[in-house]
Chain A
Amino acid sequence: MNGFSRYLEAAGAAPAADLVEGAPLSPARRDWLKTAGALTGLVLAVGASGVVRAADAASEKKYGGDGMPHGTVDDPLVFVSIGKDGIVTILSHRAEMGTGVRTGLPMVVADELEADWSRVRVMQAPGDEPRYGNQDTDGSRSTRHFFQPMRRVGAAARGMLEAAAARQWGVPVEEVAARNHEVVHEKSGRKVGYGELAEAAAKLPVPKGSALRLKQPEQFRYIGKQSTRSVDIQDIVTGNTHFGIDTRLDGMLYASISRPAVLGGKVKRYNADAAMQVPGVVKVVELPAGPTPPMFAPLGGVAVIAQDTWAALKGRQALEIEWDDGPHAGYDSQAFRKTLSEAAGKPAKAVRNDGDAMKALEGAARRIQAEYYLPHLAHATMEPPAATARIVDGKCEVWACVQSPYGTRENVAKHLGMDISAVTVHQTLLGGGFGRKSKSDFVVEAALLSRAMDGKPVKVTWSREDDITNDYFHTVSVERIEAGVDAQGKAVAWLHRTAAPTIGSTFVANAEGQQPFELGMSAVNIPFDIPNFRVESVPVPAHTRIGWFRSVSNIPHAFAVQSFVAEMAHELKRDPRDYLLELIGPPRKISPAEMSDSWNYGESPTLYPLDTGRMRHVVELATKEAGWGRQLPPGRGMGVAVCYNFVTYIATVVEVEVAKDGTLVVPQVHVAVDCGPQVHPDRVRAQTEGACIMGLSLATRSEISFTHGRTDQTNFHQYEVTRMPEAPRDIKVHLVEHGYDVPLGGVGEPAVPPFAPALCNAIFAATGKRIRSLPIRDQLKT
């Protein structure tokens, strides 16, 4: 085995004992959680001025991948292995949930390595951040943070192969060059394959600093090209993939868990007699009630363990359980909507305050106001949460579809009272993630049940009902915006009051008020050219588990802001696109701090200022491609919305056709995406297409509502999502070209938020009906 194979041992076995990370799960798992943890610091410290100006705290901050736990790693000996047969194995350390990252990042390594993609294999890393760098796959960060480290991995390995060849031939290294899986000495015409060089190369020093020679972009073979297929495509189309739900181990048992339907609920008493009579049921186990705040801990309940999934489900149906619903039993969505609306009607703490919006509103020639409502959403990943665990000789091994395998490892270790070195997390494919599978509650369930079965392997499979009723839901919100316009029609004041339970409540008991990272998603960081600009965050409680859902708080904020701009345009008899561009104002670079945005998606304000030129350009590009302004037949309309999110600029133009009976059809969508240079353009397009469909789902159909603390929806017959007949026939994605001097933006999430406002603006253009409450459902029916 050569040195390049070292990681294979680690990938297959429990991590080595040199890990120092023995600490229990801290809320600092994600940078977002750090922000939530700062609840008692940053927010309270603001004091009477009431304005969060957190730029001063930024001076010592680390940004991007360096700012994430365990940062980035660019050691080729960690990520690359080359066999004597020339097969190059590249490690993928990020979770694959459909973004294509398991292909994209190894492709970057292969490109710099001058490897022939047909002789590359990809292997999935277990959860081990000290070794691989951050593995928390969310926030549209994987390619953004690991593009450069993975280039260095490939380039360093290439340099070592070249040095080994030069040494073998006794020629200066400058005279040799790696080309398509072999090193060539042109002067003598000699060539040697990577397989023959690997062993010698692995003994050479890893080139660093000026010794590390990255390719020039024009030399890229795969990066930025259209041709690289998913490494999993053949397995997917033939049914041979391994998702979390697909794990099978010898002697494995299957579990189904009845959990409290209301957050904070507990089992009062239960009777398992009937359940135990179901053939195949092996044991019934009570799990302890979940903590407050809920964190990533299991919710508790009663588990039925059986010899197959069906027996477990039948046994669970036969359980008789009496519940104590606890403090959130009164949660009612209709009543809570009123609470939010009333709260949004009263002055609250300013989280951005430029000029004097109140005074400017009073003096305005005209005031325009609107209120928007968006309900809770469930992620509803097609693969429900599922995990398998076994405990042998005091060591726990799990197989799970998780977005953060290392965070999962910490969480399992904490709940089992084990040292983290005793826990191994094998990363499977994820059948969708969208933020749900960042939370490893379901993996801890499997681990606890394995322990209850003396370490036997136990697979926990959530039913769809479990998934929809016990999700970490996207928040619910009321957004109220008021603008003042002077006699010339110029906007002089903006007041946005946002009322939504915070994700912070999942980590800090009774947390109220959106956190800087939530407000930094299209509430405060709106670059409009309006002198008096005020955003207020209204503290409201959470009555269910609030989690992050693909593009997070951008969904409600951008819906309100981008709908409101079109409403203003209508009131002022202006073209909505022209008016949007007027509000964005001239091209300029704005520091996030100037907009009271202390987060900026974790990125450096210097490297990633908000560039209104790029924002204008995506609006102009999408509208131009869509043929903005062309004559449309009656019942048709076009709407536009723009959103800066995950440091990407994205504008969406939706064309709708609304029939006389209110039936809605979306014949065409144009999306302009400026995410910097595109590493894997086809997957950028795919993610954008898919995000539009998710945006359509939440705009037209999806809603989670609560009565008596329980969701009113349990499965896809009630929690509706977009299906084939309603999907747009044509989604055109227009990518803005950049050189590699421009830093990368996110891709997985950004196209979700602008879709719903663009759609509703189009509906208004087509019908004159303004949608301010989602989902649309029957609002257009006549």
Chain B
Amino acid sequence: MASLTINGKSHDINAPDDMPLLWVIRDRLGMTGTKFGCGMAMCGACTVHMDGQPIRSCITPVAAAAGKRITTIEAIGEEPVGRAVQQAWAEIGVPQCGYCQSGQIMSATALIRSNPNPTDEDIDAAMSGNICRCGTYPRIRTAIKQVATKGADK
């Protein structure tokens, strides 16, 4: 039994300790915004925040998330930076199929929160773990820079 705090709500989850947080979020809690992409932390589709840090939920055992503060794509818009990232994504028309974009938005939000004016190299480093097969990288870069320029709504 693990006690999880996800998007501000606490949940008691009866799951094996090694069950990845991803499948708890998706299958047990029914929040499907966090995506499965590879199962080995190679693609970033499953990115969520744990105590504010971006993590790959597909390799994070639920036991390791117990007692931590987890935020998913469904609630990232409640934070100013997350909301600004979502708005920039919509304005610039970043997504194509949209599947990887939950993870991209979670990584971008964590980047801008810790580094409000990222350089191109900072963007490369923070976003290199998130694959997009549609190839939206140039627009992701543009959107991150737009958020950095405008600043998040305070």
| Partner-B contacts on A (CB < 8 A) | 96-100, 229-230, 232-234, 236-243, 245-246, 248, 254, 279, 308-310, 313, 380-384, 429-434, 461, 463-465, 682-683, 686-687, 689-694, 697, 715-717, 721-725, 727-731
Do B36 and A432 touch (CB < 8 A)? no
Do A309 and B140 touch (CB < 8 A)? no
Do A464 and B123 touch (CB < 8 A)? no
Q: Which chain B residues lie closer than 8 Å to A237 at the CB level?
A: 77, 86, 89-90, 95, 101, 105
Cβ-defined partner of A729 (8 Å) among B77, B100, B138: B138
Do A97 and B97 touch (CB < 8 A)? yes
Q: Which chain A residues lie closer than 8 Å to B102 at the CB level?
A: 239
Do A233 and B90 touch (CB < 8 A)? yes
CB distance from B54 to the nearest CB of A (A): 14
* Most chain A beta-carbon contacts within 10 A, residue among B93, B98, B105: B98
20 A/B residue pairs, CB under 8 Å, sorted by A: A97-B97, A98-B95, A236-B89, A239-B73, A242-B32, A248-B30, A309-B36, A310-B19, A310-B27, A380-B133, A381-B99, A383-B99, A429-B98, A431-B100, A464-B43, A690-B134, A694-B133, A697-B135, A724-B128, A727-B138
Q: Which chain A residues lie closer than 8 Å to B124 at the CB level?
A: 724-725
Do A246 and B32 touch (CB < 8 A)? yes
Cβ-defined partner of B27 (8 Å) among A236, A254, A716, A724: A254
Q: Return the chain B residue nearest A692 by Cβ.
A: B135
Q: Return the chain B residue nearest A433 by Cβ.
A: B97
CB distance from B101 to the nearest CB of A (A): 5
CB distance from A729 to the nearest CB of B (A): 7
- With A237-B89, A239-B32 given, can you name 16 additional A-B contacts, CB distance below 8 Å? A237-B90, A237-B95, A240-B33, A313-B39, A380-B133, A382-B131, A431-B100, A433-B97, A434-B133, A464-B40, A689-B136, A716-B40, A717-B40, A717-B42, A723-B129, A725-B124
Give the complex CA separation of A99 and B93 in angstroms: 12
Do B42 and A431 touch (CB < 8 A)? no
Are A382 and B93 CB-contacts (below 8 A) given A715-B42, A721-B131, A728-B138?
no
Give the complex CA separation of A454 and B89 in angstroms: 44
Do B98 and A723 touch (CB < 8 A)? no
Do B45 and A382 touch (CB < 8 A)? yes
Per-residue contact bits, chain B 115-138, to A (CB 8 Å; 1 contact, 0 not): 000001001110111111111111
Give the complex CA separation of A687 and B135 in angstroms: 9
Do A724 and B28 touch (CB < 8 A)? no
Do B86 and A238 touch (CB < 8 A)? yes
Are A727 and B137 CB-contacts (below 8 A) given A310-B20, A382-B45, A432-B97?
yes
Do B28 and A731 touch (CB < 8 A)? no
Do B33 and A693 touch (CB < 8 A)? no
B151 at the interface (CB under 8 A from A): no
Give the complex CA separation of A730 and B73 in angstroms: 28
B64 at the interface (CB under 8 A from A): no
B-side interface residues, number (CB < 8 Å): 58
Give the complex CA separation of A69 and B131 in angstroms: 36
Q: Which chain B residues lie closer than 8 Å to A381 at the CB level?
A: 97, 99, 133
Give the complex CA separation of A686 and B42 in angstroms: 25
Do A464 and B39 touch (CB < 8 A)? yes
B49 at the interface (CB under 8 A from A): no
| Partner-A contacts on B (CB < 8 A) | 15-16, 19-20, 23, 26-28, 30-40, 42-43, 45, 72-74, 77, 86, 89-90, 93, 95-102, 105, 120, 123-125, 127-141
CB distance from B25 to the nearest CB of A (A): 10
Q: Which chain B residues lie closer than 8 Å to A433 at the CB level?
A: 97
Q: Return the chain B residue nearest A379 by Cβ.
A: B133
Do B96 and A430 touch (CB < 8 A)? no
Give the complex CA separation of A664 and B102 in angstroms: 29
Do A464 and B38 touch (CB < 8 A)? yes
Give the complex CA separation of A308 and B29 in angstroms: 11
Do A382 and B128 touch (CB < 8 A)? no
CB distance from B38 to the nearest CB of A (A): 4
Give the complex CA separation of A274 and B83 in angstroms: 47
Do A723 and B138 touch (CB < 8 A)? no
* Most chain B beta-carbon contacts within 10 A, residue among A236, A248, A313: A236
Do A686 and B27 touch (CB < 8 A)? no
Do A682 and B23 touch (CB < 8 A)? no
Do A686 and B96 touch (CB < 8 A)? yes
Q: Which chain A residues lie closer than 8 Å to B32 at the CB level?
A: 239, 242-243, 245-246, 248
Cβ-defined partner of B139 (8 Å) among A432, A686, A728: A686
Do A236 and B101 touch (CB < 8 A)? yes
Cβ-defined partner of A233 (8 Å) among B19, B35, B93, B135: B93
Do A431 and B35 touch (CB < 8 A)? yes
Do A98 and B101 touch (CB < 8 A)? no
Q: Which chain A residues lie closer than 8 Å to B140 at the CB level?
A: 724
Give the complex CA separation of A686 and B94 in angstroms: 8
Do A239 and B39 touch (CB < 8 A)? no
Q: Which chain A residues lie closer than 8 Å to B101 at the CB level?
A: 236-237
CB distance from B145 to the nearest CB of A (A): 11
CB distance from A356 to the nearest CB of B (A): 44
Do B135 and A716 touch (CB < 8 A)? no
Give the complex CA separation of A545 and B96 in angstroms: 27
CB distance from A312 to the nearest CB of B (A): 10
Give the complex CA separation of A432 and B135 in angstroms: 11
Do A308 and B96 touch (CB < 8 A)? no
